[in-house]
Amino acid sequence: MNVLLVGLGRWGEKHLRVLTQLGATVWVADVADERRQWAIGQGVDRARAVADFRQALPHVEAIDVVTPADSHRAVAEACLRAGRHCFIEKPLTVTVADGRAIAELARATARVVQVGHIFRFHPVTATLRAALTADRIGAVRYATGRFSGFKRPRTDVGVTHTDAIHYFDLFASLLGREASSVGAVQRDYLGRGLDDMSVTTVTYGDVPVVVEANYFVPGTHRECVIVGERGSLVADYGASTVTLHAGEHHRRGAAWEAVETGKEDLPARGDEPLRLELEAFLAACEGRGANPVPAEAGVHALEVVEAAARSARLQRIVAISEIR
C-alpha cells in the first residue's frame, strides 16, 4: 500500500520506521526541508518527499497524520475528500466539534478513520483485558491511572488533552462502557494558557476512575490500578508488567479483616504497540479487518477532555450529556 506520512517530528520518525517495516511504500510530507532530507537519508525516495501533503494525494491510498493537534481537522478533511483513508494520532482534534466533523465526513465518504489511541494495542492492555474477561478480580469497584513525568510540555494542547486522554479511552475500552460524568482539577502553573497538571475523576457507569497527569513529577510514570471485589490488577505500561493481588475483606463479628490470598505476575508480552496499531490500520484499509479505533471513539475521549475542562472551570461535576 502507498501511505503518506504527514509530519516528521519525534513521533513521526517512529511511524516512518514502522511503516517501512510493514512493507508500505511510504511518501512523506513536512514543511521543514531539514526533516524531508532526514527522511530521504532514511531511505525514502526523494520524489516521494514533499512539502505540501496535497501533492502526494494522487499517489497514495492512505494517510498517516502525525502533526500538531490543531492541524488535524484541516489535513484529515482534505484527505478524506480526496477519498483517502486516514490514521490520525490522538487527540483526534482539539475540540469535540472538530472531531464530530471528521467522524461525519468519514461516514459520508465511507473511508477508514482510525484514531491513534496506542494504549489499546499494548501487551499490558491485552493482559488486563484477559484478566477482566476471566473474572480474576470480580466486579470492578474503581480504578486509577497515572501518566506523569518531568518533560517538555506540548505547545498545541494541555496535559489532559495529550496524556490523561490515554486513560480516558483505555478505561472506556476495558470497561466496555462510555463515561457518564466528569469532575476535574486543572492548573496552569507555567502560565501558558494550557493545563500542565490535572486530576480527573471519570465515572464509567458505576465505576469511578481517577486519572492524574502532569509535567512535574520526577521520572516517567505510566501506571494503572484496577480494584475489584476479590483483588486488584496493578499494571505498569513502562515496565510492561501486570501483577494480580488477590484478597478480600471479611467480616469477623463487629470488625473487618483484610485477607490477602496471593500475588501473581501475569505475562504481558507482545509486539511493539505502534506496529500492531499501524498493522491494524493497513488491514482495515484493505478490508482485511475491522477498524479497531473508529473516529467515534476519538470523539468520546474528547468529550471527556472537554467535560474535564468545564468541570475545572465551574468547580462542579459535569455530565457527558452536557457536552453532547
- For residue 250, give Cα distances in angstroms to 26, 77, 143, 245, 262: 59, 57, 21, 16, 16
pTM, two decimal places = 0.96
In this prediction, what percent of the chain has a pLDDT beyond 70?
A: 100
Hey, what domains does the chain have and what are their CATH numbers?
2-118+274-291 (3.40.50.720), 120-271+302-322 (3.30.360.10)
Residues in Cβ contact with 306 at an 8 Å cutoff, skipping those fewer than 6 apart: 95, 96, 323
Closest C-alpha among 34, 40, 47, 36 to residue 6: 36
- pLDDT digits 0-9 by tens, 200-235: 999 999 999 999 999 999 999 999 999 999 999 999
For residue 84, the model assigns a pLDDT of 98
Closest C-alpha among 166, 162, 64 to residue 114: 64
Average pLDDT over residues 7-30: 97
For residue 244, the model assigns a pLDDT of 98
At residue 308 the predicted structure's pLDDT band, cuts being 50, 70 and 90, is very high
For residue 113, the model assigns a pLDDT of 98
Phi-psi region of 205 (alpha: psi -120 to 50; beta: other; left: phi over 0): left
- pLDDT digits 0-9 by tens, 252-271: 999 999 999 999 999 999 99
For residue 128, the model assigns a pLDDT of 98
